[in-house]
Amino acid sequence: MASGKLTPRQKMINMMYLVLTALLALNVSKEIINAFITIDEGITASNNNVIKKNNQVMDAFATAAQADAVKAKPFQEKATQVHKASDDLYKYLEDLKNEIVRKADKLEANAKIPAPREIQKNDDYDTPTLIMCGDKQDGKGFKATELKKKLEDYKVKLIGFVADKDKKDFQSRFDELINLKDPDPASKLAKEEKKKTWEMATFYHTPVVAALAMLSKIQSDVKTAESQVNNYLLAQINAKDLKFTDVEPKVVAPTSYVLTGQDYKADVFLAAFNKSSDAEIVVGGRSLPVENGLGKYVDRPSSEGVKKWGGVIKVKDPEDPTKVKEYPFEAEYIAAKPAAVVSPTKMNVFYIGPENPVSISVPGVPNNKVVASISGGGGSLTKNPKGTGADYIVKVTTQGEATISIIADMDGKKINMGAQKCRVKRVPDPVAKIAGKREGPMQKNALIAQSAVIAELENFDFEIYYKVTKFKMSLYPKGKDPIELESNNNLITANMKAALSKARAGDKVYFEYIKAVGPDGGTRSIPSVNFTIQ
């Protein structure tokens, strides 16, 4: 509790609470009660200081938003949400403290809550225990559990405002600051005192004054977490500001891959140059229109291949406005015919029954601008929720052929990107096996030990399962009449095993007329299996 990235103030609070809790376990004296009151008052005063600092941070966000709303406003909105979540949880904790005091001193609902030193039942164990942990051995299901859930949600909410690259660091900070783990099962607390949950370890058999100090400490943790996140957000306002030491021309295009008939667009600008720049950008002997310091270049290729272009950026020398500096630049893009890519993940076949994964994309076009549809084969096409934006699931019901058609949205225009035909086939018939074998010699006891006839697909890419629904066993003893028995499921019946127990070496056993049902719901007749008893 007193290590890691906590502030010195937080480490002191945590350490003092540990010491007093240990003393409390030995003997509750008036001095210890007063010590807890002193700790609670100290934490409350410290909390007020943190709250003031957090409010000052919010004022800093407001000032930044006034100076540059575009850059600062998004961070200010996040900080406001963090601040509100912190205030709501802080108030909830304050209400818990008031509830404990009110019930311990048997105060009226509208009575004024006394200061910690004025509480009559400061050493009351029962009231905090019943409110926070109830009468259950694990202490769960009462206010302590409710508080734990709110703290867990609070940590998750705050980490949601942090950039992905920093989430791990903040998760570690918050897990140490607001530790909600159950005690180590091997610890004295869990083994001897039977406090095996966070709820019990924190609030069980705790006098009023200690419960109030603990809740004040948690309030401190909540406000400290708010401070860490909002200071982080405040720093992010200027974190992405670039520092330039030189200038050079830049060409930025949304894509360097376009289709014939489609516009190629690019932004041409001088890096580290401001929006009010009066630079002249010349391409092919003509000046480009300039908007906010960015030259707007548009070209429409009429043939395939690599298209090279370039020009020069002319800007006044800041040291001598009478002179002009020139910065030549070159760029290129690729023009290609319309084309779509349809790649069945397994093979160029859709099977009836299972979900057929398929990837559909158009080079140079974002996945959210590609619309795919299917016709034929009784097919349906849906996005794969577990995949990327290019992953789909195809389901088909009728043998034959299915066609996937693709439309791409390019600059607001719907362009047909072509289609791909795929065969629609039934899933192959499975084969029957017993003990992993289809035929050959088998020990009698080994055969009797088997419980069922299994149907499985061999050398097939999909994980598809068939279930045997019916079969017939024929036993041909030497010199005796054959024995025929039926099963209406996949199980080898007791009668079958009894017949097999009387078989002798050299007797033939056939499992035939086997029926199995697969994912398409159809019943398949599959080849028999036969064995010679050893």
Can you give the residue ranges of every domain in the chain? Answer: 8-236, 249-336, 341-426, 431-533
Q: Whole-angstrom distance between the N-terminal and C-terminal Cα of the chain? A: 71
List per-residue pLDDT tens for the chain, 534 residues long. Answer: 444 466 666 666 666 655 555 544 444 567 777 777 888 888 888 889 999 999 999 999 999 899 888 889 999 999 999 999 999 999 999 999 999 999 989 998 889 999 888 888 888 889 999 999 998 888 899 999 999 999 999 999 999 999 999 999 999 999 999 999 988 888 877 776 778 899 988 898 889 988 998 999 999 999 999 999 999 999 888 655 433 334 556 666 655 556 666 676 777 755 554 465 667 889 988 888 888 777 888 888 877 667 888 999 887 765 566 788 888 988 877 676 665 656 655 568 898 888 889 888 877 677 888 999 999 999 999 999 888 888 999 999 999 999 999 998 877 788 888 888 999 998 888 999 999 899 999 999 999 999 999 999 888 878 888 999 999 999 999 888 999 999 999 999 999 999 999 999 999 999 999 999 988 888 999 999 999 998
Three-state DSSP string of 138-206? CCCCCHHHHHHHHHHHHHHHHHCCCCHHHHHHHHHHHHHHCCCCCCCCCCHHHHCCCCCCHHHHHHCCC
SS3 211: helix
User: Minimal CA–CA distance to 434: which of 356, 512, 345?
Assistant: 512
By the 10 Å C-beta count (0-12 exposed, 13-18 middle, 19+ buried), 91 is classed as: exposed
Q: Judge if 249-336 and 341-426 fold alike in CATH terms.
A: yes
| Strand-pair partners of 408 | 370, 415
Domain 341-426 is in which class? mainly beta
User: Minimal CA–CA distance to 250: which of 266, 264, 269?
Assistant: 269
CA dihedral 343, 347, 350, 352 (to 10 degrees): -150
Please report how the helices 208-236 and 30-67 are oriented relative to each other, as an axis angle in degrees rounded to 10: 20
What are the backbone angles phi and psi of residue 388, rounded to the nearest 5°?
-85, 180
CB 98 within 8 A of CB 212: no
Three-state DSSP string of 335-349? EECCCCEEEECCCCE
Three-state DSSP string of 467-521? EEEEEEEEEECCCCCCEEEEECCCECCHHHHHHHHCCCCCCEEEEEEEEEECCCC
| Strand-pair partners of 351 | 425
Amino acid at 100: I
- Reported as a single tens digit per residue, the pLDDT across 238-266 is 655 433 334 556 666 655 556 666 676 77
* Domain 249-336 = CATH 3.40.50: no
- Give the other-Cβ count within 10 Å of 227's Cβ: 18
Q: How many helices (H) and strands (E) does the chain have?
A: 11, 25
